Amino acid sequence: MNSTERLKHLFSLPVVIAALGYFVDIYDLLLFGIVRIPSLEAMGINPDTVGKSILNWQMTGLLLGGILWGILGDKKGRLSVLFGSIITYSLANIACGFLPQINFMDKGTAYMLLRFVAGIGLAGELGAGITLVSESLPKNLRAIGTSIVAGFGLLGAVVANFTVELSGDWTIAYWIGGGMGICLLLLRVGVVESGMFHQIKQNSSVKKGNFLMFFTSKVLFIRYMKCIGIGLPTWFCIGILAMFANQFASAMGITEEVKPGMAIMWAYIGISVGDLSSGFISHWLHSRKKAIFWMMLFTLIGVLLLLFSGVKTAKMYYFYCIWLGLGTGYWAMFVTVSAEQFGTNIRSTAATTIPNFVRGTVILMTILFDYLKPTTEVIIAGAIVGLICFIIGIYSTLTIPETHDKDLDYHE
């Protein structure tokens, strides 16, 4: 395959639309983390106690939505999920912009419900997009193609933060996110369905989108759990170290203000670069596992330095957020591996549920983090949660089957 043909595949409509979709997805997914404090304070709500509850409701929505959209993706097609999910989260985000005008119920409760609905919608974007791209590209270009999707898409976090800063009003940021989603919906009209899905769509003898298959087969269950395990360090870094950057900064004795929104933005700048690089690293090493393992070790070093090297300035905290972002930039590779581990009939279910289950583990991480803080202090509590995530992540990476150059045209 010459360079012209490779570029034609890598910048085909499914790849471009999946990248734009993930951009909007990440914008909307992380927007609450960025506007958590100003939006809740503006409505006279405690940003710490109620803020955590809203975040947990959003993550619960992601868990349930992951199952819903994953099953629909294998039963009805990848495109049906891309359309349905974006309508759901776009309308929910537009409604979030009208929260100050809601008087018929408690604003905090309304915020929780809207972020729950948004979470359900956001759950479908990445898995369906990566599945469609993986099945549309030649096997030697899958890693690079999905890296382009994630690398560009993750810049949505950067744009979200700048949108909040420049607009000066968190409600406008929500409306912009919802508006981008509606525009994206119109662009998706020309995208075609995956050829592999078309081949099994009419075959009634093949069980499609059976979520229980992951729990009734020991082999599939172990593989499924290992895929989730690989992703844990990524959301420890975002969900704990970046989302609660203000708490860690205070424990470290940093006198300057460290904003969670800025920490998230710098982390995602790093993740975007890391994701673009991870596909090429995997391509060069001829191995998904080696690329993820080395990036995970790089992340672990960054976590240890952040927590224990004596960081004393906001700039240094943000620097380590970039470091952690670069390391956890194997996110696209992790989702690609999740798609490649399973057959066409349950591939969308796997690729959609696995990353959302990883996102959902933030609930467990925050519960453990809060439980440990009173007795061990913030830094040690964070270190213990991180240690658990990295042990599981490294073990899962080293023991899961290699999928580089694997033929995906098969079913379970």
Q: Is the pTM of this model over 0.75?
A: yes
Could you tell me what percent of the chain has a pLDDT over 70?
91
Buried b (16+ CB within 10 A) or exposed e, 376-396: eebbebbbebbeebbebbbeb
User: How far is 306 from 317, CA to CA, in rounded Å?
Assistant: 7
On the question of pLDDT at 201 being above 70, the answer is no
On the question of pLDDT at 86 being above 50, the answer is yes
The secondary structure element, H or E, covering residue 240 is none
CB distance 100 to 43 below 8 Å: yes
User: How far is 109 from 112, CA to CA, in rounded Å?
Assistant: 5
Could you tell me what percent of the chain has a pLDDT over 90?
31
Mean pLDDT value across residues 1-21: 75
Which residue ranges make up each domain of the chain? 3-189+209-399
CB distance 23 to 152 below 8 Å: yes
Q: Please give the pLDDT value at position 327.
A: 95
**How sure is the predictor about 411, in pLDDT bands with cuts at 50, 70 and 90?**
low
**How sure is the predictor about 298, in pLDDT bands with cuts at 50, 70 and 90?**
very high
Structure tokens belonging to residue 333: 């590779």
Q: Please give the pLDDT value at position 243.
A: 87
Q: Please give the pLDDT value at position 1.
A: 58
Q: Please give the pLDDT value at position 191.
A: 58
The pLDDT mean for the chain works out to 84
Mean pLDDT value across residues 229-235: 95
Cα→Cα distances 81→78, 180, 348, Å: 6, 17, 10
Q: Please give the pLDDT value at position 346.
A: 82
CB distance 389 to 110 below 8 Å: no
Q: Please give the pLDDT value at position 195.
A: 47
**How sure is the predictor about 184, in pLDDT bands with cuts at 50, 70 and 90?**
confident
Q: Please give the pLDDT value at position 20.
A: 84
On the question of pLDDT at 194 being above 60, the answer is no
Q: Please give the pLDDT value at position 193.
A: 47
The residue ranking higher by pLDDT, 401 or 409, is 401
Mean pLDDT value across residues 62-73: 84
Q: For residue 42, give every residue at least 6 positions away whose Cβ sits within 8 Å of its Cβ, in sequence order, or none.
A: 100, 170
Highest mean pLDDT among 13-22, 142-151, 396-405: 396-405
Q: For residue 247, give every residue at least 6 positions away whose Cβ sits within 8 Å of its Cβ, in sequence order, or none.
A: 378
Fold type of domain 3-189+209-399? Growth Hormone; Chain: A; (1.20.1250)
Q: Please give the pLDDT value at position 73.
A: 76
pLDDT tens digits for range 146-159: 778 877 887 887 88
**How sure is the predictor about 318, in pLDDT bands with cuts at 50, 70 and 90?**
very high
Secondary structure class of 282 (helix, strand, coil) = helix
Q: Please give the pLDDT value at position 407.
A: 67
